[in-house]
Amino acid sequence: MCQHQTQCPSAESADRESARLVAHHPEQGWSLLCNGVVLFEDTGELLPDGRAIAPHRPLASQVMTAA
């Protein structure tokens, strides 16, 4: 699917979110990556095979703040 040199990570890869953007719709809250993954602004994902990945934002207690 990806035509980039070097190829972007596949949808099954752990680093799939680092693939390049094909379409970006911030007003609707989603982006399409070149590996076919739909990435939502809440960090949820929809994979090309139809599987949904739950949002994985860090919990507020896990976020570091500057001193």
pLDDT of residue 31: 96
For residue 37, pLDDT beyond 70: yes
Specify which residues 30 forms β-bridges with: 25, 40
Q: What is the pLDDT of residue 57?
A: 72
Q: Has residue 14 got a pLDDT over 60?
A: yes
pTM of the model: 0.76
43-63 per-position pLDDT tens digit? 999 999 999 999 987 655 555
**Three-state DSSP class for residue 62:** helix
Q: What is residue 63's DSSP assignment?
A: -
**C-alpha 53: how far from its chain's center?**
10
